[in-house]
């Protein structure tokens, strides 16, 4: 199993070797480690170099935060070019949703779109997939920008969107991942049934905390087993087959 979206740099780095050894002993082959800003990108690359076979690194700037300064954005884009051989993707990038009101009030919408488009262009130039934060109304706006820039490889993480937009994302050949919420939320269970099995990924978005049966637990890639068990029940496919398919999907996108 590979966790397709995780903020590895937000875990206790002093205990990371212990955690990775333990995760691997429980069947976790690797993680796609995404970044949230320039500093996080450097840290993620450092972790990638320390654990090269376990970590697939993606660097970017999270949209639920003030946009990068022009200097930082230029440095991030240059870092992507310089380290492209150590990268498996560009992310986490997208457009704000949860902080949209306060962020747009201060900065306006344009800097966020410009930042996203710059990242999409660099991703296309270095032939890397993009890991996207694009939920609710923003999923449609981000999808339009992907089409505008002719992006071939994209991953909509923790997607929340209308059925129409989900179908459009699928028709473009993009990937969609589900989180531990699929174990207890009807919305996510309905979504899984819409996604072709060869475009489905699983993630935890750790260390983000989840509810229900995961409440009060620290989020780790070990939750992937619960996700697979739920997918097996929802799709009536054996866990062995689902694991094989999901692993192949993740490796195909995040080389």
The 8-class DSSP code of residue 143 comes to H
> What separation, in Å, do the N-terminal and C-terminal C-alpha atoms of the chain show?
15
| Tens digit of each residue's pLDDT (9 = 90 or more) over 8-20 | 999 999 999 999 9
Domain ranges of the chain: 2-253
What CATH number should be reported for the domain whose range is 2-253? 3.20.20.140
Q: How far is residue 213's CA from residue 118's CA, in Å, rounded to a whole number? A: 40
Burial class (CB in 10 A: 0-12, 13-18, 19+), 213: exposed
Question: What pLDDT, on the 0 to 100 scale, is given for residue 81?
Answer: 97
The CA distance from 203 to 212, in Å, is: 17
- Distance between CA atoms of residues 103 and 115, nearest Å: 14
Element containing residue 22 per DSSP (H, E) = helix 16-25
- Cβ proximity of 89 and 31 under 8 Å: no
Query: Running along the chain, 255 residues long, what does each successive block of 10 average in pLDDT?
Result: 98 96 97 98 98 98 97 97 97 97 97 98 97 96 98 97 97 98 97 98 97 95 98 97 98 97
Please tell me the predicted confidence (pLDDT) of residue 96: 98
Residues sharing a CB contact under 8 Å with residue 190, sequence separation 6 or more, in sequence order: none
Measured between alpha carbons, how far is 30 from 19 in angstroms, rounded to an integer? 12
pLDDT for residue 42: 98
pLDDT of residue 220: 98
Torsion of CA 181, 185, 186, 188, to 10 degrees: -20
pLDDT score of 63: 97
Position 125 scores a pLDDT of: 97
Q: Which two tokens stand for residue 140?
A: 């449609």
Nearest-10 crossing angle of helices 110-126, 70-82: 10
Are the C-beta atoms of 3 and 202 separated by less than 8 Å? yes
Do 194 and 181 touch, CB atoms closer than 8 A?
no
For position 90, what pLDDT does the model report? Answer: 98
Cα dist. 26→19, 48, 230 in Å?
11, 20, 18
pLDDT tens profile 59-94: 999 999 999 999 999 999 999 999 999 999 999 999
């Amino acid at each position: 199993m590979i966790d397709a979206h995780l903020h590895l740099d937000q875990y206790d780095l002093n205990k990371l070797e212990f955690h990775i050894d333990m995760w691997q002993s429980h069947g976790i082959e690797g993680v796609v480690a995404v970044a949230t800003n320039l500093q996080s990108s450097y840290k993620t690359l450092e972790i990638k170099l320390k654990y090269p076979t376990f970590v697939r690194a993606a660097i970017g700037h999270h949209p639920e935060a003030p946009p990068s300064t022009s200097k930082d954005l230029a440095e991030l884009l240059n870092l992507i070019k310089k380290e492209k051989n150590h990268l498996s993707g560009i992310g986490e990038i997208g457009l704000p949703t949860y902080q949209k009101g306060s962020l747009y009030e201060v900065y306006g919408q344009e800097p966020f779109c410009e930042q996203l488009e710059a990242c999409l262009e660099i991703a296309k130039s270095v032939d890397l997939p993009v890991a996207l934060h694009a939920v609710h109304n923003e999923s449609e706006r981000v999808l339009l920008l992907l089409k505008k820039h002719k992006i071939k490889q994209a991953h909509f993480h923790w997607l929340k969107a209308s059925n129409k937009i989900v179908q459009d994302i699928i028709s473009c050949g993009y990937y969609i991942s589900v989180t531990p919420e699929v174990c207890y939320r009807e919305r996510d269970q309905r979504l899984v049934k819409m996604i072709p099995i060869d475009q489905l990924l699983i993630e935890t978005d750790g260390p983000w905390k989840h509810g229900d049966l995961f409440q009060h637990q620290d989020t780790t890639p070990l939750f992937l087993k619960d996700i697979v068990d739920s997918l097996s029940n929802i799709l009536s496919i054996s866990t062995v087959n689902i694991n094989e398919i999901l692993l192949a999907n993740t490796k195909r996108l995040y080389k």
